[in-house]
């Protein structure tokens, strides 16, 4: 190499003195340049003769290729190539291209001394003499193995990412800050029936109908403004001709300095879910309507049952309901051994109220009497109106006659208070006949009959009385 650099050149113009000065400086410059090349460690820099044999070897070449200088100088540079490359003539091809075109560059796998591979960037430059004759070649080799592996890992990672996104059923896209698409996955193009070339580098306004483009652009701007991303519900017509509803998560993408460089988006089709939700909502409406109808029907049935079981004038039980309660009470007491009291109540001189004040006033008196009597009873007790001014009270689950007396006394007390009606203070008294189950009878009919006898006896005694049935009331002498 030094010999090539130190070849004499013919004089061309300078004066003899200046030429001698330059000649004195050239060896020092050459030695400095040679030392610089020899000590470069990041590049393998060496000379080849015209046939491709190694003529020089720097520190970088020793580090990259693993050969010591004394091992490689004089050897042909083809030993750095793979056998199949040698067979195809690649070493000689590189020299030929460099010789004819002035430069040759390529990247490929090369062999180190230990036969391990490295990825090399190779530049071959011809060296010519003053007359243009080929003296040899300068070859510069750089080890790019790590960079290639990094690029391969990056490419592999990108390939996996693209494969993942292209196999995702969700629509995925990336737009630049101007709103132009720089990436869309297969689901995006498939859903809209577009080719990649029809989407990439185009904006929504160039692809979609105006109202849809405005919807997308408005949501894009809002997502970018949040700087953290936001979800939208967007409706668009797909290639199947149907409107599809999607939940679209849009988010800004930042560079390392925190500047927005793109907008990302993931759209999940929720059309079927919306359809099911609407169907469920409609079903719920129908169910609520059916429930309301059922409640209304039950309420109506209860009302009808109430009407059927209640006296229309006073609201207390009628004969039908009294009979049902009495049967139940008698069956219960038959098992428990407790007693039932049946009170037959008839208002004293009620006919005079109807005759003097009229039937409307009489009806009001009956309603108030029923209310006052009901207030004297427990929840388990029953009061019923037989008709006219006659009432029956069924006292269930009684312990003793004293309890019955307590109830009848209270009834007489509440009825003693005057009833204010149309400016009149009406005083009402009653005759109460009492029969006890099972002592006085085993069924409602018998109990009602004997209680009626006891009530009638009270009437005979002047009214406003409580009379208990005794067997002697059945004798003809004590009858009406």
Q: Residue 398's domain is classified under what CATH number?
A: 3.30.70.270
The pLDDT of residue 29 is above 80: no
pLDDT value, residue 457: 95
The pLDDT of residue 277 is above 60: yes
DSSP lists the bridge partners of residue 265 as 173, 250
Cα–Cα distances (Å) from 5 to 25, 28, 128, 387, in that order, read: 13, 12, 11, 144
Cα separation, 145 vs 247, in Å, equals 45
Tell whether 45 and 138 lie within a shared domain. Answer: yes
Pull the structure tokens for residue 279: 């169907």
pLDDT value, residue 35: 59
Q: Residue for token digits 């995006």?
A: 188
Contacts (Cβ under 8 Å, ≥6 apart) of 446: 440
pLDDT value, residue 383: 95
pLDDT value, residue 12: 44
The pLDDT of residue 34 is above 80: no
Tell whether 246 and 198 lie within a shared domain. Answer: yes
Segments forming the whole domain that contains residue 96: 39-149
| Region of residue 340 (phi > 0: left; psi between -120 and 50: alpha; otherwise: beta) | beta
State the CATH number of the domain containing residue 184: 3.30.450.20
- Give the mean pLDDT of 53-63: 93
Tell whether 364 and 315 lie within a shared domain. Answer: yes
Number of H-type helices and E-type strands within the chain: 17, 16
- Give the mean pLDDT of 103-127: 95
Tell whether 466 and 329 lie within a shared domain. Answer: yes
- Give the mean pLDDT of 453-460: 95
**Per-residue pLDDT reduced to its tens digit, 380-424:** 999 999 999 999 999 998 877 788 999 999 999 999 899 988 788
How many CB atoms sit inside 10 A of residue 473's CB?
Answer: 18
Least reliable range by pLDDT among 22-31, 312-321, 340-349, 440-449: 22-31
**Per-residue pLDDT reduced to its tens digit, 227-274:** 888 999 999 999 999 999 999 999 999 998 999 999 999 999 999 998
The pLDDT of residue 55 is above 80: yes
Exposure b/e, 316-331, CB count within 10 A at least 16 = b: bbbbebbeebbeebbe
Least reliable range by pLDDT among 29-43, 63-77, 348-362, 411-425: 29-43
pLDDT value, residue 389: 94
CB 213 within 8 Å of CB 205 = yes
Length of the chain: 480
Tell whether 342 and 428 lie within a shared domain. Answer: yes
Tell whether 177 and 143 lie within a shared domain. Answer: no
Tell whether 258 and 322 lie within a shared domain. Answer: no
Tell whether 216 and 139 lie within a shared domain. Answer: no
Q: Residue for token digits 């006949």?
A: 433
- Does residue 386 sit in helix, strand or coil? strand
Report yes or no on 227 lying in a domain.
yes
The pLDDT of residue 362 is above 80: yes
Tell whether 181 and 95 lie within a shared domain. Answer: no
**Per-residue pLDDT reduced to its tens digit, 180-227:** 999 999 999 999 999 999 999 999 999 999 999 999 999 999 999 988
pLDDT value, residue 15: 39
Contacts (Cβ under 8 Å, ≥6 apart) of 119: 107, 108, 109, 110, 143, 144, 145, 147, 148, 149
- Give the mean pLDDT of 44-61: 94
Tell whether 328 and 469 lie within a shared domain. Answer: yes
Tell whether 391 and 317 lie within a shared domain. Answer: yes
Domain count, the chain: 3
Report yes or no on 280 lying in a domain.
no
Pull the structure tokens for residue 10: 């013919």
Cα separation, 466 vs 454, in Å, equals 8
Q: In percent, how much of the chain has pLDDT > 90? A: 68
Mean pLDDT for the chain overall: 87
Tell whether 45 and 118 lie within a shared domain. Answer: yes
**Per-residue pLDDT reduced to its tens digit, 139-169:** 999 999 888 887 777 776 666 666 666 678 8
- Give the mean pLDDT of 436-448: 93
Contacts (Cβ under 8 Å, ≥6 apart) of 440: 446, 447, 450, 451, 469
Report yes or no on 225 lying in a domain.
yes
Least reliable range by pLDDT among 37-41, 222-226, 424-428: 37-41
Q: Which of 269, 292, 321 is where one domain is finished?
A: 269
pLDDT value, residue 92: 95
pLDDT value, residue 294: 87
pLDDT value, residue 152: 75
The pLDDT of residue 464 is above 60: yes
What angle separates helix 350-357 from helix 359-374, to the nearest 10 degrees? 140
The pLDDT of residue 299 is above 50: yes
Cα separation, 113 vs 103, in Å, equals 26
- Give the mean pLDDT of 117-129: 95
pLDDT value, residue 242: 94
Q: What are the backbone dihedrals phi and psi of residue 338, each rounded to the nearest 5 degrees, phi first?
A: -85, 180
State the sign of the Cα–Cα–Cα–Cα dihedral 306, 307, 312, 317. Answer: negative
Pull the structure tokens for residue 212: 């849809």
Cα separation, 108 vs 120, in Å, equals 6
Report yes or no on 11 lying in a domain.
no
Cα–Cα distances (Å) from 254 to 229, 248, 418, in that order, read: 12, 19, 92
The pLDDT of residue 32 is above 60: no
């Amino acid at each position: 190499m030094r010999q090539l650099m130190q070849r004499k050149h013919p004089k061309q113009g300078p004066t003899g003195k200046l030429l001698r000065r330059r000649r004195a400086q050239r060896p020092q410059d050459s030695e400095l340049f040679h030392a610089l090349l020899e000590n470069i460690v990041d590049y393998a820099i060496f000379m080849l003769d015209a046939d491709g044999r190694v003529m020089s070897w720097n520190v970088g070449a020793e580090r990259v290729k693993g050969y010591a200088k004394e091992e490689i100088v004089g050897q042909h540079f083809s030993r750095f190539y793979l056998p199949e490359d040698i067979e195809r003539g690649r070493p000689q091809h590189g020299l030929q291209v460099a010789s004819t075109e002035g430069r040759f560059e390529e990247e490929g796998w090369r062999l180190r001394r230990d036969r391990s591979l490295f990825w090399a960037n190779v530049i071959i430059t011809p060296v010519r003499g003053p007359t243009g004759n080929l003296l040899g070649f300068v070859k510069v080799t750089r080890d790019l193995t790590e960079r290639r592996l990094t690029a391969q890992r990056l490419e592999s990672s990108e390939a996996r990412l693209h494969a993942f996104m292209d196999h995702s059923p969700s629509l995925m896209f990336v737009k630049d800050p101007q709103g132009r698409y720089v990436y869309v996955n297969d689901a995006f193009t498939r859903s809209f029936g577009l080719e990649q070339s029809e989407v990439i580098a185009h904006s929504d306004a160039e692809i979609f109908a105006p109202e849809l483009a405005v919807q997308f652009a408005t949501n894009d701007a809002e997502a970018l403004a949040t700087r953290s991303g936001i979800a939208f519900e967007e409706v668009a017509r797909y290639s199947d001709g149907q409107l599809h509803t999607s939940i679209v998560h849009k988010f800004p993408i930042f560079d390392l300095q925190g500047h927005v460089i793109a907008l990302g988006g993931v759209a999940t089709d929720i059309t079927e879910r919306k359809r099911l939700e609407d169907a469920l909502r409609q079903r719920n409406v129908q169910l609520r309507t059916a429930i309301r109808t059922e409640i209304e029907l039950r309420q109506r049935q209860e009302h009808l049952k109430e009407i059927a079981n209640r006296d229309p004038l006073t609201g207390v039980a009628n004969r039908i309901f009294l009979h049902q309660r009495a049967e139940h009470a008698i069956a219960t007491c038959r098992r428990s051994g407790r007693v039932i009291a049946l009170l037959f109540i008839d208002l004293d001189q009620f006919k005079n109220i109807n005759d003097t004040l009229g039937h409307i006033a009489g009806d009001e008196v009956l309603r108030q009497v029923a209310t006052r009597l009901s207030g004297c009873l427990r929840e388990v007790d029953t009061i019923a109106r037989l008709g006219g001014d006659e009432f029956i009270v069924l006292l269930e689950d009684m312990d003793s006659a004293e309890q019955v007396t307590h109830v009848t006394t209270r009834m007489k007390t509440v009825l003693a208070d005057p009833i204010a009606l149309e400016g009149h203070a009406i005083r009402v008294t009653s005759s109460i006949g009492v029969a006890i189950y099972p002592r006085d009878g085993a069924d409602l009919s018998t109990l009602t009959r004997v209680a009626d006898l006891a009530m009638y006896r009270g009437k005979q005694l002047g009214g406003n009385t409580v009379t208990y049935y005794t067997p002697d009331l059945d004798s003809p002498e004590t009858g009406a």
